[in-house]
Amino acid sequence: MRPRSLTAILLLLLSLSSGALACDLSTLGIAQATKPKVTLQSPAPGAQFHEGEDVTIQSTSTDPGGIVRVELAVDGVTVRTDVPPIPQGQTSFTLIQRWKAVAGTHTLGVRAYNAAGAASDPVLVSVTVAPGAAPSPIQPTQPTAPTVISTQPTLPPVLPTVPLAPTATRSPTRPPASPTIAAPPGVWAVSIRLDPKEPKRGQGVTFLVTFLNTTGNPQGYRWRVRIYRPDNMKHSFGDTAPINSTIPVGKAEIASDPGWAVRGPGPCEDFLARVFWIDPDSKAETEFLKPDQSGGPAVSFQVCP
């Protein structure tokens, strides 16, 4: 009986020590590793493409420790890997990845990795690619070119009349409209300027953002401007209060909350401003992209005494 009792006691002690070790590891955070979060903006589930077409995959990856790389997989096979501009990692990384469409039904997957090496759950979307080349999207735009040109001969007779002189000055503003038509459907940020142009310490600054809405309908957004020091683009120095705006179709300049300022005495300081939209559910902030999708617009400025 004694050997059996001794064995039971040893097993009990071993069980208790294992439980204590697990608690210690949990307390130390070893079992509490966090994973990045990925949100897919495009393409939509079930979207259809034609063989040979460039499929645009837009995603936003977020992680408090910083995103260091994002992988795009097609049918489980990684086809490309992208890293953020900041090698140490970005807490929010919006990315455009492209894949040359191949006929068939495919599953596209995006997975992000943080600085600690933890991977997100893959975000998957299924698309269908029809065989054969897509109809040329340039065809619908061809008739518009002759239309603009055909109106040119009607302008010279109007030029001598004084009341219609402004009409002649408006015709040069037509070319900027063509990039608007060429931009993919979406809401983009074109540029940022500030008022006053050369702010002083303690003086409130308003950021005026030019948006471009090519969706065909007004779009509501909650957004703000974040301000960074040039030597620390990972964490913002400050930001404007979030506001809700309805962005109309076409170009529109909208002012931020005017309450941001550099308080207290000090020397001249350099800053850089960028504009972000806020997800109403997750509260995650994503930088608005420019229409060419090369990144977000930014403005550099200096605040002096």
Q: Give the pLDDT of the chain (305 residues) as one tens digit per residue.
A: 455 666 666 666 656 555 544 444 444 444 456 899 999 999 999 999 999 999 999 999 999 999 999 999 999 999 999 998 887 888 998 989 999 999 999 999 999 999 999 999 999 999 999 998 655 555 544 444 444 443 444 444 444 444 444 444 444 444 444 444 467 889 999 999 999 999 999 999 999 999 999 999 999 999 999 999 999 998 999 999 999 999 999 999 999 999 899 999 999 999 999 999 999 888 999 999 999 988 999 999 999 99
Q: Could you tell me if residue 135 is inside a domain? A: no
Beta pairing partners, 74: 77, 108
Whether residue 4 is contained in a domain is answered as no
Largest CA distance in the chain: 120
In a domain, 159, yes or no: no
Whole-angstrom CA distances from 160 to 55, 164, 167, 172, 173 are 50, 8, 11, 18, 20
Interatomic CA distance for residues 222 and 244, integer angstroms: 4
- Considering the domain architecture, whether residues 214 and 298 belong to the same structural domain is answered as yes
CATH number for the domain harbouring residue 72: 2.60.40.10
Domain contains 139 = no
Query: Do residues 123 and 208 both lie within one domain?
Result: no
* Residue 263: inside a domain: yes
Q: Are residues 126 and 190 in the same domain?
A: no
- With respect to residue 291, please indicate whether it lies within any of the assigned structural domains: yes
Q: Per the structure, how many domains does the chain have?
A: 2
Q: Are 203 and 292 part of one and the same domain?
A: yes
Give the residue numbers spanning the domain of 299.
183-303
pTM of the predicted structure, to 2 decimals:
0.47
285 within some domain = yes
For residues 288 and 274, give the distance between their C-alpha atoms in angstroms, rounded to a whole number: 8
